[in-house]
Structure formats: structure tokens, C-alpha cells
Amino acid sequence: MGNEQNVVEVMGIDAGGTMTDTFFVRADGEFVVGKAQSNPSNEAQAVIESSIDALKLWDRDIDQVYPELVTSVYSGTAMLNRVVQRKGMRVGLIVNRGMEDFHRMGRGIQCYLGYSLEDRLHLNTHRYDEPLVPAERTVGVTERVDSQGDVVIPMREAEAFEAAEKLLAQDVEAIAICFLHSHKNGKHERRVVEICREVLAKHGKNVPVFASVDYYPTRKESHRSNTTILEAYAAEPSRKTLHGLSETMRQQGGKFDLRVMASHGGTISWKAKELARTLVSGPIGGVIGSKFLGEALGYDNIACSDIGGTSFDIALITKGEFAIQKDPNMARLLVSLPLVAMDSVGAGAGSFVRIDPYSQSIKLGPDSAGYRVGVCWEEGGIDTVSVSDCHVVLGYLNPDNFLGGAIKLSVERARAAIKKQIADPLGISVEKAAGGVIEILDQSLRGHLRSMINAKGYNPIDFVCFSYGGAGPVHTYGYTQGLGFKDVIIPAWAAGFSAFGCATAEFEYRYDKSVDIAVPPSASDAVKQASCVTLQEAWGELAEKVIEEFRINGFAPEDVLLKPGFTMQYLGQLNDLEIDSPLSAVASVADWERIVETFDETYARVYARAARSPELGFGVTGAIMRGIVATKKPRVPEEEDCGPTPPAHASIGERPFYQQGRWKTAKLYHMEALKAGNVINGPAVIESPATTLVVPDGWSTRLDTHRLFHLREL
């Protein structure tokens, strides 16, 4: 399989809690995936082992391949686990005196974040997690700045010295500072940084100091402080790990700079100042991969859908860009990190299925069988029916080829459980019950997908739908049926698509800053012009930060492509819309009008024409600057078209298959054996070790020359 002429260019690393996956891409677009047990105490070791596992498929070893690599992207859960398990650094926190409790109080919403709808109503189930910084390491300093940035109470420096001494006496490993409205006026915070450094120097200590204004200068103190604390609490230890990994790779001959997948959808260097934004990156890989494929193949609007065992994640790419959520939550904490906007539904292939004893209706989830699959896998020890059990009973999944045959599933066990738990209580047949479960799940997914598109002011007809994730292609027909997508595409490497996506990500920094530009309806031209100046100044400030980050990695300012953006609202609203600026710089009244026009159009599309409120005037609430430098990316596979008829060896038999209330016979195919150009008409099931593509009766799929399946209803 190896081809010495084909150099390996790209490496993706997905370091999960249990397994570390590596993903290598050759110059011809071929790729391999390797796996190894994760090793939290030595991540580099796991990466090496996983690389060896992958590269042996090409008969190559790391000593040869690492020097060939031009880029490597890491995404991992170590930082997230550190937060979830509260095993971060010993951080001291300096806040306004009188507000020492605010961090440990948390926001009320944090006691039910991540809950299902029913549990959100069910008060007795709510709980707060431990604060990242306990009360005894939180110290107050008297000062106040108001919402307009004016000083109400000057900072009392003596208290700041005392605070620093007090924290040092408690052997803190980092100090975070967050005063109210510091995003509007950061002088007090910055002065406290100086004071802390003075005190540190006096004691001969070296402890990092983080001021929220230097990290996340955006409004909402819980978001801003949590994020700044995370930078100290969780990101710094990761920086050490990544540095170690980078060094190990160098020792193996690697000449590339390790980059890390970040929540905003770009990759950043492990040296980046704001490393906390790499806290969550896993699920967004697929979105980045979809964007990359879209660019390569000319799709502007893409609905990305990813089904795993526990959740259904959807995201939209519109006009070639994904949306960013500014105040998301991660690990049950409100944060102010930009995150690729995704809608996650707690329903997946492993979701449990139960009959609600009170209403006699079918309920899916919110909990799931996870890696234990369902009743059909005896060793899993599960006795509640899962969605996978339904798939097995209906002939969608091959009981002998689950995870490539690594585990054997029992159709009979699944049947018996569905009969007892679902079919008999409802007075219907096992097939009808199992089929019903799938229909309910599909419909719920379809509803979410459609809602997300509608909420953006679009119609599915404008979109191509990408479906990936291990369980995605089993459901693709079900959740896309009737929505009217332009095309429905399943990459043949659906199970590894997220890792692929990470490897395609841009080397990109993004910085945000809150601004308060208010232009009332009666505003003069002078006000509009001044507003342009304010926005332009903010862009300038952010551009400097972006360029500085690239400079650390050896790029010159002229290598950086800058993309400005802004968030805007009708004056007085609390929410805003993020807009990619139609202009690269603003100065004149005409520029202002252009900005307003872009916002107004977007608003009408997202909400409703009737919801537009230009008579209130316009406000710009945030400035955004993204900077990108060119990097090496995987290529989209390219194969020769071999015509519609699949090769004989791709056919692997037949299986009964239940659809629309009756049993049919599905033809079975081996996915890897199919050739570009092959057309498969349903009912058919196309199997590969990690994924299964279901083509029901009345549907057809064609594998194109890029190894993408196009699924359509005939």
C-alpha cells in the first residue's frame, strides 16, 4: 500500500480521554488512521504509539514520516478533563471588594447547564459545581468603574499590595484579576498586575498574572472572569504538555510547528497567549472539514450534521463562513470564548428508549448507552433498549460487523428487549416499535436541522447537507427526507471526518473587543463619522494583537490576511448579530451607511422583516479581527470514474431490512470496495468497519470521484 513517492504532509491528532487517534494525509490525498491508549501523564508517548499504528498501514515509520510533515494539528480533551475534574492550578483571584462572592456564587444558570429540558424544570436535581477558585483564595480590592468606563471609586493601591501578599502567602500558582467593567477601562486591572509583579519580585517568586482586560475584554463579568481564570487554571498546564509534545516531535525529526485546534474554528500555536480557547475543539472538526470541502468543491451553504452515540451536532456554513457564538458555555461554565456555533441535541445512536409510564409515550434519552451499545451486546451489560438495538432488529446494522466485527451483536436479545419494553406496552409489533423509534428520532433531528436553518433566515433548498460521524450515515436519509436540500453528501471517511477536519483548519487568530458605539436615528454625520473612527481604532488594536501572535510564530505582518467584523444591534437591544464587515476599513459617513445596510439586511433575514427596528438607531457592540496565514492542507481525494456498476467483489450478500411497515431485502456492499462513479439503488446497506450507510427503498446513492456519496430520494 505504501508509495515512497508520496510524501506524508499532514498529521491530525485527536487525544481523547481513552484513545489517542492520529490521522496522516499523503500528498495524493490518501490517509490512514491510527489508535493508541491515551496516556495523560505522557501525551507525547501516546501520540508516538498512535502514529506508529497508523503509519504501519503504509509500511512506514515515524523517523521517515515526521521529517516530511509540513503541518500538524492537535485537538484533545486534557484541558477539558482538568476543568471537569477540578484538577487545575492553584489560582488566586482578585476582584472588587464587596464582590468576593460572585465567582463562587456562579451564575444561577450554571446549576442546570447541560441538563435536559425536563431536568431543567426539576429543581431538586439542580447542582452547582465547585468554584474554580475557592473563597479563601479570593481577595477584594476597593475600586469601581461604571458601565461607561468612568471611575466611580479610584483603586486603593494599598489594598492591592495586601491582596497580592495574601495570595502569595497561600502559595498560589497563578493570579487572575477581574474588576467590573474592566473591558471599558482596564487601567485599574493593569495597575494591579504591576503591583502583583512588584510583590512577586520582592519575594523572588515567578507566578503568572492574568488580567481579564488583557485576555477577554468583553462585557459580562461571569464570562470574562471564568475565561481568565481558565487561562490560569487549565490552559497553562496544557501549554507545558503541548510544549513537551512539540519537543518530542522535533526530536523525531519534525520541522513543523505544532498547532492546536481552537474553539473559534481556526488553529493557533501552542505558544498563543489565549490558550484557553483550545478547551473545546473536538466536535467542531467536522464543521471545519465541511467548510474545507465546500471551498474545494464550490458549495457555499452547507448544513453540517454529525451523529455520534450520545448527541446530534449541527452547524451551518453560510456564504462560506460558519457562525460564532460569543458567550457560550463549556464544562458547565459561562465563558467568553468565541465558539463555532453548534446546536447540540442530546439524542444519538446510543440513546436509551423508554416508555413514559404516565403518558404511555416513547421517550428517547437524554441518557445513552454510550460505548456499551445496547441490549444487543450482552457483554455491555445494558438492559434498557437503545436506538442501536432498533437498528440491529431492523437490519440496518450488521450484527457481525459492528466496529469491523470487533464485537458481536445479538439480534435476538435486542428483539426480546424491544418486545418487552416498547412493543408490548404500546400493543404493536416489534418491527413497528423499532421502526417508530427510528422515525421519532429522525423526525426530531430533522426538526432541529430545519429550525437551525430557518433561524438563520434561510431555507434548506439553499443548502447542501453533509452527514458524518460514526452513526450519521445510518440516519442520513431519515433526517434529510423531505427537507429539500440541494444535495446530501456523506464522505466515505465519515467516521474520521472530525480528525480530517482539524487537519484542514486555517492557522487563524481571532480577537474580540467590546465597544459601545451608539448612533441614534437623529444622529448627525459627525456622529456617524466618529463611530467609524471608534470602530477603526478597535480594529487597529485587535489587528496588532493578531499580528503579534503570528510574529511569535515567525510570520511577517504582510503574511497575515486580516478579516474585520463587528457585532451590531438596534439601539438598546441586548443581543447582537455578528457581521463580516463588507469593508476592510471604515472612515466616512458612506462607510457607516454601508455597515448599517449590511446589518439591516441580515437582521430581516434572521428574524423577520417586522422585527427590524431602524427607528431606534444602531449600536455597534463589538469589534472582531481575524487573521489568517496560508498553511498546508490535505487534498481532497481524486479518483477515476469507473462507471455506475459496482465491482463484483464489493457485493457481500443480502439481509432482511424493515422499512415503511414491511420487510424487504437489502443488498449489502463493502464500502471500501466501491469505486468512483458506482451507483447503488436502495434498499441497500453499505458497510465499513466504522460506519454504515443506509440506502432505503426509493433512494439511490452515487460515489463521486472525491469518495463522497451523494444520497437522493428517487
Partner 1 sequence: MSTVLKMVPDKRREKGLCRSGLTLRDNRNEVLARTEGSGCYNGLTNMPLKEADPIFFEKLASRIRAVLVDARETAKKIAASPIVEQEGELCFTLYNAAGDAVLTSTGIMIHVGTMGAAIKYMIENEWERNPTINPGDMFTNNDCAIGNVHPCDVATIVPIFWNNNLVGWVGGVTHVIDLGAVSPGSMSNGQFSRFGDGLQITCRKTGVNDEPLRDWLHESQRNVRATNYWILDERTRIAGCHMIRDRMEEVIAEVGIEVFESFGYEIIEDGRRGLQNRIKSMLIPGKYRQVSFIDVPYKHEAMSTPAQYAKVDSIMHSPSTIEIRADGSWKLDFEGASRWGWHTYNSSQVAFTSGIWVFMTQHLVPNERVNDGAYYGTEFHLPYGTWMNPDDRRTGHAYAWHFLVGSWTSLWRGLGRCYFGRGYLEEVNAGNSSTANWLQGGGINQDGDFHAVNSFEPAASGAGARAWADGLDHAAAIWNPEGDMGDMEIWELAEPLVYLGRAIKTNSGGAGKYRGGCGFETLRMIWKAKDWAMTFMGDGYVVCNWGMMGGYPSSAGYRFAAHNTGLKDRIANGESLPLGHDWDPDSPQWEFSLGKSAEVIRDKQTMATEQPFEDYDLYLNLIRGGPGFGDPIERSCRDLEADLNGHYVLPRFAAAVYGAVAKQDAKGAWQIDDAATAARREAMKRERIARSMPVRDWIKQEAKRVAAKDGSDQVQHMYASSFMASKKFLEDFRAFWSLPKEWILRLGEDGVTGFGQQSIPLDSLPDVRRVVLVDESVVAPEDY
Q: Which residues inside 128-147 make contact with partner 1, applying CB under 8 A?
A: 128, 135, 140, 142, 144, 146-147
User: Residue 197 or residue 219: which is nearer to partner 1 going by CB?
Assistant: 219
Choosing from 403, 461, 611, 630, the residue that interacts with partner 1 (CB under 8 A) is 611
Q: How far is the CB of 365 from partner 1 (least distance, A)?
A: 12
Choosing from 223, 264, 332, 513, the residue that interacts with partner 1 (CB under 8 A) is 223
Q: Based on the number of CB atoms within 10 Å of its own CB, is 41 exposed (0-12), middle (13-18) or buried (19 or more)?
A: exposed
Rounded CA-CA distance 57/50 in Å is: 12
- Give the number of residues in contact with partner 1, rule: CB under 8 A: 76
Which residues within the stretch 8-67 sit at the binding site for partner 1 (CB under 8 A)?
A: none
Q: How far is the CB of 577 from partner 1 (least distance, A)?
A: 9
Look up residue 131 and give its three cell numbers. Answer: 468554584
Quick check: 707 binds partner 1 (CB under 8 A)? no
Stretch that binds partner 1, among 61-69, 150-158, 276-284, 691-699 (CB under 8 A): 150-158
Q: How far is the CB of 312 from partner 1 (least distance, A)?
A: 13
Helix H, strand E, coil C: the string for 543-604 is: HHHHHHHHHHCCCCHHHCEEEEEEEEEECCCCCCEEEECCCCCCCCHHHHHHHHHHHHHHHH
Rounded CA-CA distance 22/20 in Å is: 7
Which residues within the stretch 590-609 sit at the binding site for partner 1 (CB under 8 A)?
A: 606-608
Rounded CA-CA distance 440/457 in Å is: 26
Quick check: 461 binds partner 1 (CB under 8 A)? no
Which helix (H) or strand (E) is 161 found in, with range? helix 157-169
Determine if residue 533 is left, alpha or beta; phi over 0 gives left, psi from -120 to 50 gives alpha, anything else beta: alpha
Which one-letter DSSP state was computed for residue 370? G
Look up residue 471 and give its three cell numbers. Answer: 452513526
Stretch that binds partner 1, among 57-65, 153-161, 541-549, 669-677 (CB under 8 A): 153-161
Rounded CA-CA distance 214/274 in Å is: 10
Choosing from 126, 563, 664, 670, the residue that interacts with partner 1 (CB under 8 A) is 126
Choosing from 17, 59, 61, 109, the residue that interacts with partner 1 (CB under 8 A) is 109
Quick check: 99 binds partner 1 (CB under 8 A)? yes
Q: How far is the CB of 676 from partner 1 (least distance, A)?
A: 37
Choosing from 259, 273, 415, 448, the residue that interacts with partner 1 (CB under 8 A) is 448
Quick check: 444 binds partner 1 (CB under 8 A)? yes
Q: How far is the CB of 611 from partner 1 (least distance, A)?
A: 5
Which one-letter DSSP state was computed for residue 113? T
User: Residue 555 or residue 607: which is nearer to partner 1 going by CB?
Assistant: 607
Rounded CA-CA distance 433/444 in Å is: 16
Strands 507-519 and 577-580: unpaired
Rounded CA-CA distance 252/10 in Å is: 15
Which residues within the stretch 224-263 sit at the binding site for partner 1 (CB under 8 A)?
A: none
Query: 323 near 341, Cβ under 8 Å?
Result: yes
Which residues within the stretch 544-583 sit at the binding site for partner 1 (CB under 8 A)?
A: 570-575
Query: 498 near 73, Cβ under 8 Å?
Result: no
Stretch that binds partner 1, among 62-70, 433-441, 547-555, 665-673 (CB under 8 A): 433-441
User: Residue 226 or residue 476: which is nearer to partner 1 going by CB?
Assistant: 226
Listed in sequence order, the residues at least 6 apart from 84 whose beta carbon sits closer than 8 Å to its beta carbon are 331
Choosing from 5, 41, 85, 123, the residue that interacts with partner 1 (CB under 8 A) is 123
User: Residue 219 or residue 372: which is nearer to partner 1 going by CB?
Assistant: 219
Which residues within the stretch 619-638 sit at the binding site for partner 1 (CB under 8 A)?
A: none
User: Residue 371 or residue 663: which is nearer to partner 1 going by CB?
Assistant: 663
Stretch that binds partner 1, among 27-35, 125-133, 312-320, 386-394 (CB under 8 A): 125-133
Determine if residue 484 is left, alpha or beta; phi over 0 gives left, psi from -120 to 50 gives alpha, anything else beta: left
Ordered strands of the 138-141 beta sheet: 138-141, 91-96, 174-178, 209-211
Look up residue 526 and give its three cell numbers. Answer: 459627525
- The rounded Cα 714 to chain-centroid distance in angstroms is 34
Choosing from 5, 85, 148, 584, the residue that interacts with partner 1 (CB under 8 A) is 148
Choosing from 191, 197, 220, 354, the residue that interacts with partner 1 (CB under 8 A) is 220
User: Residue 144 or residue 259: which is nearer to partner 1 going by CB?
Assistant: 144
Q: What is the dihedral of CA 484, 487, 488, 492, to 10 degrees?
A: 170
Strands 329-330 and 333-334: antiparallel
Stretch that binds partner 1, among 93-101, 493-501, 527-535, 541-549 (CB under 8 A): 93-101
Q: How far is the CB of 61 from partner 1 (least distance, A)?
A: 52
Rounded CA-CA distance 611/456 in Å is: 14
Quick check: 428 binds partner 1 (CB under 8 A)? yes
Quick check: 152 binds partner 1 (CB under 8 A)? yes
Collapse the DSSP code of 2 into the 3-class scheme (helix H, G, I; strand E, B; otherwise coil) and give the result. coil
Stretch that binds partner 1, among 62-70, 239-247, 300-308, 446-454 (CB under 8 A): 446-454
Choosing from 24, 31, 66, 112, the residue that interacts with partner 1 (CB under 8 A) is 112
Q: How far is the CB of 603 from partner 1 (least distance, A)?
A: 9
Q: Cell 496516556 appears where?
A: 39
Which residues within the stretch 348-377 sit at the binding site for partner 1 (CB under 8 A)?
A: 356-362
Stretch that binds partner 1, among 103-111, 234-242, 370-378, 679-687 (CB under 8 A): 103-111
Choosing from 2, 17, 98, 405, the residue that interacts with partner 1 (CB under 8 A) is 98
Going through 258-405 in order, the beta strands assigned E by DSSP cover 258-261, 267-269, 302-307, 312-318, 321-322, 324-325, 329-330, 333-334, 339-340, 343-345, 351-355, 362-368
Quick check: 661 binds partner 1 (CB under 8 A)? no
Q: How far is the CB of 334 from partner 1 (least distance, A)?
A: 9
User: Residue 85 or residue 575: which is nearer to partner 1 going by CB?
Assistant: 575
Look up residue 74 and give its three cell numbers. Answer: 492537535
Q: Cell 476592510 appears where?
A: 584
Q: Cell 433526517 appears where?
A: 479
Q: How far is the CB of 208 from partner 1 (least distance, A)?
A: 25
User: Residue 62 or residue 145: which is nearer to partner 1 going by CB?
Assistant: 145
Q: Based on the number of CB atoms within 10 Å of its own CB, is 580 exposed (0-12), middle (13-18) or buried (19 or more)?
A: middle
Which residues within the stretch 479-538 sit at the binding site for partner 1 (CB under 8 A)?
A: none
Query: 676 near 687, Cβ under 8 Å?
Result: no
Choosing from 52, 562, 589, 616, the residue that interacts with partner 1 (CB under 8 A) is 616
Choosing from 59, 61, 118, 593, the residue that interacts with partner 1 (CB under 8 A) is 118
Choosing from 191, 219, 419, 670, the residue that interacts with partner 1 (CB under 8 A) is 219
Which helix (H) or strand (E) is 36 found in, with range? strand 31-37
User: Residue 574 or residue 648: which is nearer to partner 1 going by CB?
Assistant: 574
One-letter amino acid identity for 603? Answer: Y
Listed in sequence order, the residues at least 6 apart from 314 whose beta carbon sits closer than 8 Å to its beta carbon are 303, 304, 305, 306, 342, 343, 344, 345, 448, 449, 452
One-letter amino acid identity for 335? Answer: V
Q: How far is the CB of 32 from partner 1 (least distance, A)?
A: 41
Q: How far is the CB of 616 from partner 1 (least distance, A)?
A: 6
Choosing from 5, 41, 124, 206, the residue that interacts with partner 1 (CB under 8 A) is 124
Which residues within the stretch 163-192 sit at the binding site for partner 1 (CB under 8 A)?
A: 180-181
Stretch that binds partner 1, among 439-447, 551-559, 581-589, 702-710 (CB under 8 A): 439-447
